[in-house]
Amino acid sequence: MNVSDKQLPPSASAGNPDHIYLCIDLKAFYASVECVERGLDPLTTNLVVADVTRTQKTICLAVSPALKAYGIPGRPRLFEVEQKLKGIKLRTGREITYIAAPPRMQLYIDYSARIYSVYLQYVSEEDIHVYSIDEVFMDITHYLSANRNKNGRPITARELAKRIIQNVWAATGITATAGIGTNLYLAKIAMDIVAKHVKADADGVRIAELNETNYRQLLWDHRPLTDFWRIGRGIAKRLEKKGLYTMGDVARMSLQGADTNGYGENLLFNEFGIDAELLIDHAWGIEPCTMADIKHYKPSTHSISSGQVLPHAYDFKKGRLIVQEMVDLLVYDLIEKDLVTSSITLHIGYDKNGLKESHYRGGVHIDHFGRAVPKPAHGTEKLTDAGGQAIYSHSTKKIMNAALKLYDRIIDRKLMLRRVSLTFNDVESAVDRKVICRQVSMFTEDVLEQEQEDQEQRIQQALFRIKQKYGNNAVFKGMNLQEGATTMERNNQIGGHKA
């Protein structure tokens, strides 16, 4: 039995809980923006957001609600959309046309900023957490009594949610779905699972509400598990191997106690480690994290990273060029934020055709699509000075030398590359580390090296200011013009897609 087959629970805001949270998701956001920009209705227009200049395998970033009604999923590949519509034509004789809109990432960011300004008309910034470009959490606990309905009474959570959604639609033409819950998790689940199955009200708005008790009544036997927040296919498969197919199964298993034979909650902790604690909490509809916790969270370690899927398979030499370009770009991030790093990590994904090569004797990895591919290369290299001492730096020269040394060490030169990820680890403030660096330099009397690094830093700062003023492609290096280079194209992208 699914959500739509059941009677929905009473309001989550009943009983005066400690907190009331609201989660809002903008419906098919990218596709809706493209429809609005064309003067079309997102609910009746067949549209996908996809770069048709790439291959038919390119992923559609969004699908309009009208196209989804034909059974097309939210993130299909372009050829899958074509196949689905051809199948409908064969069965019914009806030809369905659609618009393929190229991505315009900066436009979506601008719309998101406009919508965020609408949220601020109702809720303070300190009570809003931006989860993604099209989704937010709000702690609306203290805003209900401050707002009144037509009868002069404090508004309900549902009434406030509807006001916000209607204001967003009036300001932008974008529709939204909302979930209300007595904790952050329940608000998210109410939106993700329940609201998407309820009938829209007279104004086309879908809002669902959950509290811990109603969550258990409504969703303990809901399938599939992957519908729930933070449960991907991998976790779902591991649970199913243990005979656990629903959140109710997980909750009941946790009641069995710590059995020494690996049953009960021990089964979950043995399988998932500390993550089992969160899994059990969510099975019961419990989430101790609050908005205040999110706002005050400070990670114990920091890193910055960059990754790209290459347009086609690259050999060793071109892959090395990509690493050089990525180091160059990521160093500018360090400079912009006045940060330094102590080590770098590289992750290289190989082309699947490498397994067909007779020379390959390495490990085999199953990728996200279930395909067998050569085992990825992975490694970390620490930054050191001339004497071999560990250091923090944002010197392009030092970081580049370390990155290329690492690349040459971990790469299989006979295989072709398809994915490259680069991470700068243990990132800290350059100001906090500068005194230490100076003391070491004076102690070792390595004045020349320090002067060279200072000169390099001045050049980096000058280049950074030029790029800030005139754009990232205002200054570029000779390597950016070599065959296979991607930096200049990527400088015109946001998130790997056209800006």
Stretches where the chain sits below pLDDT 70 are 1-17, 257-262, 300-301, 358, 369, 434-452, 476, 488, 491-499
Contact indicator for 152, 139 with CB cutoff of 8 Å: no
* Residues 207 and 231 occupy one common structural domain: no
Give the CATH number for residue 272: 1.10.150.20
pLDDT in tens, 337-359: 889 999 999 999 998 887 777 67
* Residues 102 and 74 occupy one common structural domain: yes
Considering the domain boundaries, does residue 216 fall inside one?
A: no
Provide the β-strand partners of residue 101.
49
* Residues 266 and 404 occupy one common structural domain: no
Residues 6+ apart with CB under 8 A from 373: 349, 350, 351, 352, 354, 355, 364, 365, 366, 367
pLDDT in tens, 49-84: 999 888 788 889 999 999 998 999 888 999 999 999
Rounded to whole angstroms, the Cα distance separating 235 from 184 reads 21
Q: b/e string for 222-250 if b means 16 or more Cβ within 10 A?
A: beebebbeebeeebbeebeebebebbbbb
Contact indicator for 325, 55 with CB cutoff of 8 Å: no
Neighbours of 478 (CB within 10 A): 7
Q: Final residue of a domain: which of 236, 259, 291? A: 291
Comparing C-alpha atoms, which of 99, 111, 97, 96 is closest to residue 35?
A: 99
* Residues 349 and 463 occupy one common structural domain: yes
* Residues 313 and 277 occupy one common structural domain: no
Rounded to whole angstroms, the Cα distance separating 55 from 78 reads 8
Rounded to whole angstroms, the Cα distance separating 325 from 23 reads 39
Considering the domain boundaries, does residue 4 fall inside one?
A: no
Considering the domain boundaries, does residue 219 fall inside one?
A: no
* Residues 310 and 279 occupy one common structural domain: no
Rounded to whole angstroms, the Cα distance separating 146 from 121 reads 13
Q: Final residue of a domain: which of 211, 244, 274? A: 211
Q: Pairing state of beta strands 428-429 and 339-340? A: antiparallel
Q: Final residue of a domain: which of 189, 211, 233? A: 211
Tokens of 100: 């393929």
Would you state the pLDDT for residue 8?
A: 44
pLDDT in tens, 430-448: 887 764 444 445 455 555 6
Axis-axis angle for helices 275-283, 265-272 (nearest 10)? 130
- Per the structure, the count of domains in the chain is 3
* Residues 272 and 357 occupy one common structural domain: no
Provide the β-strand partners of residue 128.
138
Tokens of 368: 């996200």
Neighbours of 66 (CB within 10 A): 21
Residue 140: phi and psi, rounded to 5, are: -105, 15
pLDDT in tens, 88-138: 988 988 899 999 999 999 999 999 999 999 999 999 999 999 999 999 999
Tokens of 257: 């106690």
pTM above 0.85, yes or no: no
Give the CATH number for residue 76: 3.30.70.270
Domain span at residue 242 reads: 225-291
Considering the domain boundaries, does residue 58 fall inside one?
A: yes
